[in-house]
A and B are shown apart, each in its own frame.
Chain A
Amino acid sequence: MAVTSEVSADGSKLTIAIKGRFDFAKHQEFRDAYEELSPAPACVVVDLKDATYLDSSALGMLLLLREHVGGDDSDIRVVNSSPDVRKILGVSNFDKLFDIN
């Protein structure tokens, strides 16, 4: 599986891990990882440890996720991004919307 997800025991935290290229091909899998959860988790961690590349449609997917879990009140952490991936997030200034480390 290129996109795996895991919900913490108390249901408050969802972790989504991406493997390989994070681009439009992962669109459906990525949505499936969070859309059906009820209630929506309070905190989402997107783990990019194994993500090699990220394009603008991946940025769009992150925006969709953000909207789904509360928009401005959402708590989304993007973790373990490689220097290349972080550069892409940096150019778009996505650190203004997401907690990136």
Chain B
Amino acid sequence: MQRLRRLQQTIVQQRDQIARHNDYLLNEQRVAKAVFDRVAHSGCLDAPNIRYLQSPYALFNGDLLLAAYTPSGDTHLLLADFTGHGLPAAIGAMPLAEVFYSMTAKGYGLAEILREMNAKLKRILPVDMFCCAALLCVSAQRRCVEVWNGGMPDGYLQAALSGERTALTSQHLPLGVLRAEVFDHATQVLPMLPGDQVFLLTDGVIDTCGPNQQLFGVERLERVLDANRHPLQLIAEVEQALRDFQGQARDDVSMVQITSQLPAFLGVPAIVYSDSGQCSPRDWSASFEFRAPSLQQFNPLPYVLQLLMEVHGLRAQGPVIHAVLAELYSNALEHGVLGLDSRLKRDTGGFAHYYQQRKERLATLKYGFVRFSLQVEPIGESGRLLIQVEDSGAGFDVARVMARPLDLDRLSGRGVSLVRQLCPAARWAPDGRSATVEFSWGGLA
């Protein structure tokens, strides 16, 4: 009798202890979730052209979904899946999110962001942990999407007009596996018109397990994509298909869909500086010449833009200046220095060919330059900025290009027309080897 009572006591004690531990654990996870959700699911995910669904395997979903506008109005979108799920998987998410937001805001491209993410994860994660990731840059203005996929299931680019669907297949090892020296940041560029959509998912979707240990799988997913009539319903339809399959998720499940949409206004706030606004350089000029070995591997835009944004009067126009400068630079590099013909980009096949050529010519580039000349001058309390972008290329027939109407719905030749829309004062030297744009502030517009 005595022994039975002791046994009973022990059981009650242990039960209470387990309950207490479980409470602690859940509370810790709730706190972690609150912090993680703020870091991992913020940015511009609430934009009207982005829809997503994240359902957790355990208390919270350790997949990382980030979206942010670039200074020139494009959208960067990242969907990432660390080894494991829940809290342990979320640890690497913090540094990744930090790199994503800060570098996107400063105007870096996918290549630089990917290199930084990979190097950071390689440094901090144990050998057996890594991060599958898909990173996109959706540019409605340039009518294209740039994609890098390392270890994620196929994503899908769906053309609104033709209904054509292109798989965005993993071409790389996940982030955090390779040393920086051998990491491959090569991206794919595909045409994506306003209204076209990209759908991304984590493997939790296709690895969802049915009643007889069968996996949901890619074929079932693609049948849902085939049957979809209203893009806005797609995520709900996939969710319904998973339910009909009586699927049991074995991992975090995440899906995201983004529609290419021209920004209503380039009103993204410029980078905020912490100085009080008293130390703005108002009268200066500078010239930078980037030669072949630099052009091959260095993106000068973030630095030049950061310098320009020190001029307080220009900050309100930061997004437009960024978009114009980015366009002038890629025109100078691609059509000038590399001699690529933008007419190649007339159709989807040509688009791929164009970017293949770009890669090959850049890799073997020996000579050539792109030169930025910046001039900032005060005019009373106001002022203006002149930017000249020159290149070493053969130039182009300025008169013929200027005669074309602005902004046709074509894929090629977007650069000049975009610059003219954003900056009506843009002008080109008759030989087509240099362009000059002007921005004023303080009532001088």
A, B bound:
yes
Residues of chain B lying within 8 A (CB to CB) of residue A82: none
CA distance A27 to B177 in the complex (A): 19
Beta-carbon contact of A64 and B127 below 8 Å: yes
Beta-carbon contact of A93 and B150 below 8 Å: yes
Which segment, of A33-41, A42-50, A54-62, faces chain B? A54-62
When A56-B84, A97-B177 are in contact, do A92 and B170 touch as well, CB less than 8 Å?
yes
Residue B130 is within 8 A (CB to CB) of chain A in the complex:
yes
Beta-carbon contact of A93 and B127 below 8 Å: no
Residues of chain A lying within 8 A (CB to CB) of residue B296: none
Residues of chain A lying within 8 A (CB to CB) of residue B151: 91-93
B154 to chain A, nearest CB (A): 8
Beta-carbon contact of B174 and A92 below 8 Å: yes
When A67-B127, A91-B153, A92-B132 are in contact, do A59 and B170 touch as well, CB less than 8 Å?
no
CA distance A89 to B171 in the complex (A): 12
CB contact between A93 and one of B83, B129, B172 (< 8 Å): that residue: B172
Beta-carbon contact of B171 and A57 below 8 Å: no
Closest A residue to B173 by beta carbon equals A93
Closest B residue to A91 by beta carbon equals B170
CA distance A20 to B81 in the complex (A): 25
Residue A2 is within 8 A (CB to CB) of chain B in the complex:
no
Which positions 57-101 of chain A face chain B at CB distance < 8 Å? 57, 59-61, 63-64, 67, 91-94, 96-97
Which B residues lie at the A interface, using CB under 8 A?
81, 83-84, 127-130, 132, 150-153, 170-174, 177, 203
Residues of chain A lying within 8 A (CB to CB) of residue B81: 56
B311 to chain A, nearest CB (A): 45
Residues of chain A lying within 8 A (CB to CB) of residue B174: 92
CB contact between B84 and one of A57, A67, A93, A96 (< 8 Å): that residue: A57
Main secondary structure of the interface of A (DSSP, over half): helix
CA distance A82 to B243 in the complex (A): 28
A56 to chain B, nearest CB (A): 5
CB contact between A63 and one of B128, B170, B172 (< 8 Å): that residue: B128
Other CB < 8 Å A-B pairs besides A60-B129, A91-B170, 16 of them? Answer: A56-B81, A60-B128, A60-B130, A61-B128, A63-B127, A64-B127, A67-B127, A91-B151, A91-B153, A91-B203, A92-B132, A92-B151, A92-B170, A92-B173, A93-B150, A93-B151
CA distance A96 to B151 in the complex (A): 12
CA distance A75 to B438 in the complex (A): 59
Chain A positions 2 through 28: 1 when the CB is less than 8 Å from some CB of chain B, otherwise 0: 000000000000000000000000000
CA distance A61 to B83 in the complex (A): 11
CA distance A60 to B203 in the complex (A): 16
Beta-carbon contact of A94 and B152 below 8 Å: no
* Across the A-B interface, the 5 shortest Cβ-Cβ residue pairs: A60-B128, A92-B151, A56-B83, A64-B128, A67-B127
CA distance A96 to B127 in the complex (A): 16
- Residue of A56, A57, A67 with most partner-chain B CB within 10 A: A56
Closest B residue to A84 by beta carbon equals B215
B152 to chain A, nearest CB (A): 7
When A93-B173, A94-B173 are in contact, do A60 and B83 touch as well, CB less than 8 Å?
yes
Closest B residue to A92 by beta carbon equals B151
Residues of chain B lying within 8 A (CB to CB) of residue A60: 83, 127-130
- Could you name 8 residue pairs across A and B whose Cβ atoms are closer than 8 Å? A56-B83, A56-B130, A59-B83, A91-B203, A92-B132, A92-B151, A92-B173, A92-B174
CA distance A46 to B31 in the complex (A): 41
A89 to chain B, nearest CB (A): 11
CA distance A57 to B83 in the complex (A): 6
B88 to chain A, nearest CB (A): 11
A54 to chain B, nearest CB (A): 11
Beta-carbon contact of A93 and B153 below 8 Å: no
B212 to chain A, nearest CB (A): 14
Residues of chain B lying within 8 A (CB to CB) of residue A63: 127-128, 130, 177
CA distance A59 to B130 in the complex (A): 9
Residues of chain B lying within 8 A (CB to CB) of residue A59: 83, 130
